Amino acid sequence: MRFTDSPVVELPVRDAVLSIQQDNGSMHVGTTVWPCSLVLVKFVERWRTRTSSTDPNPYAAALDFTNKRAVEIGAGCGVASMGLHLLGLHDVVVTDIAPVMPALKRNLKRNKSVLGKSLKTAQLYWTKPDQINALSPPFDLVIATDVVYIEESVGPLISAMEALVGDAGVVLLGYQIRSPEAHLLFWELCCRVFDVQKVPHEHLHPDYAYEEADVYMLRKL
């Protein structure tokens, strides 16, 4: 499910609005805005801006971005990184494969005035340990949305997440089933490496709680 076929997707984040240009006609899925990136950003916004003093915030520690280093993998158009930057995640490097980088950089430039800076980017293929090491892991946060869709890429994805996230870090995963085979393999391998916490659907932002999309927090076992 695409969020929309419109060439431009707007996402309000606090008092700002991100404007993301997508290309649904491209052969690369990374040039399209998929719902999970929006769902993840709005989930974080809901709990990062929570002000209740009576109800505890179960995500307070994970979403405390103070002095945190982060990397987004398979970033596509960069929605998640841009949204989380506006929510206080200021040290983030945004990555994807070479064919997607033009769309990513175009959207970062398009939103520079809203972001207040140019976010760092890097090319990353999950199968290339040298590119992973060049990012200087470990990171406190690894961000990944809509990255599980090809069975052959599942193993390298899990290995990349494991190599990138610190022992006390968190993987913020926006997830939707794209391929039954990839889905089964991903969770089989994932549960060998990570403790999996699924965010209850009622904890998602009410305006961005799509039935097909979920948010998970993964921590190393």
Q: Exposed, middle or buried: residue 190 (CB in 10 Å: 0-12, 13-18, 19+)?
A: buried
Instruction: Calculate the CA dihedral of residues 58, 219, 89, 102 and round it to 10 degrees.
Output: -140
Task: Say how many domains are in the chain.
Answer: 1
Q: CATH number of the domain at 193, please.
A: 3.40.50.150
Asked if the structure places residue 1 within a domain, the reply is: no
Q: Estimate to the nearest angstrom the gap between the alpha carbon of 54 and the chain centroid.
A: 30
Q: Look up residue 62 and give its two tokens.
A: 């994970």
Would residue 2 count as lying in a domain? no
Asked if residues 197 and 216 have their Cβ atoms less than 8 Å apart, the reply is: yes
Task: Give the domain extent around 117.
Answer: 8-50+59-220
> How confident is the prediction along the chain (221 residues), in pLDDT tens digits per residue?
445 678 899 999 999 999 999 876 655 666 788 899 999 999 999 999 887 667 889 999 999 999 999 999 999 999 999 999 999 999 999 999 999 999 999 999 999 999 999 999 999 999 999 999 999 999 999 999 999 999 999 999 999 999 999 999 999 999 999 999 999 999 999 999 999 999 999 999 999 999 899 999 999 99
Pairing relationship of beta strands 194-198 and 165-175 according to DSSP bridges: unpaired
Tokens of 107: 């959207």
In a domain, 212, yes or no: yes
